[in-house]
C-alpha cells in the first residue's frame, strides 16, 4: 500500500503565504515525478507544479514566480511554497506521484503507477 498524506492547507488573506507538504509512506520503492494539482469548484483539475527526481521543475503559467516546488528525496516528501496568494488560487490541492513498488518475486521494480493524496483545502480571501 502506498499512502500520500498532505498537510498545510488553510485560510489565508490575499497576498499571504502557505506551505503545503506531502509525505509518502508505505511500500513505495522508487519515485519518479512528484507534483501538485488543484481543483476549484466547477473546474477541472489542473497541474500546478511538478518536480522530477533530479530536481527539474515545471509550473503552470498562473503560478510562475509565486509558487516554488521542492522535494526531500530521503524523506519522500514534496513541498509547495505558495507566496502572493490570490483568491483565484482557492482550490483543493492534491499531491500526486508517479512511482513503483518492488516485486520480491522478480527482484525488480513493478510497473510505475500514479498515486494521489486525499487533498487539502486552500482558501484565499480577498
Which pLDDT does position 102 carry in this prediction?
92
- For residue 116, count CB atoms less than 10 angstroms from its CB and return exposed for 0-12, middle for 13-18, buried for 19 or more: middle
Residues found in the chain: 126
Render pLDDT for 77-89 as a digit per residue (tens, 0 to 9): 999 999 999 999 9
Q: What is the rounded CA–CA span in Å between residue 91 and residue 79?
A: 17
Residue 16 CB burial class (10 angstroms; 0-12, 13-18, ≥19)? middle
| 125 — pLDDT class (breaks 50, 70, 90) | very high
Tell me the C-alpha distance between 15 and 82, whole Å.
Answer: 10
Read off the pLDDT of residues 45-102 as tens digits, 9 standing for 90 and up. Answer: 999 999 999 999 999 999 999 999 999 999 999 999 999 999 999 999 999 999 999 9
- Cα–Cα distance, 45 to 60 (Å, whole number): 12
Amino acid at each position: 500500500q502506498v499512502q500520500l498524506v498532505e498537510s498545510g492547507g488553510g485560510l489565508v488573506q490575499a497576498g499571504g503565504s502557505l506551505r503545503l507538504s506531502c509525505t509518502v509512506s508505505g511500500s513505495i520503492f522508487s519515485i519518479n515525478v512528484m507534483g501538485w494539482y488543484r481543483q476549484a469548484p466547477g473546474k477541472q483539475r489542473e497541474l500546478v507544479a511538478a518536480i522530477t527526481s533530479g530536481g527539474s521543475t515545471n509550473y503552470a503559467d498562473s503560478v510562475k514566480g509565486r509558487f516554488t516546488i521542492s522535494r526531500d528525496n530521503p524523506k519522500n516528501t514534496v513541498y509547495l511554497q505558495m507566496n502572493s496568494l490570490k483568491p483565484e488560487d482557492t482550490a483543493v490541492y492534491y499531491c500526486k506521484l508517479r512511482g513503483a513498488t518492488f516485486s520480491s518475486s522478480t527482484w525488480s521494480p513493478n510497473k510505475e503507477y500514479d498515486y494521489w493524496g486525499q487533498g487539502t483545502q486552500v482558501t484565499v480571501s480577498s
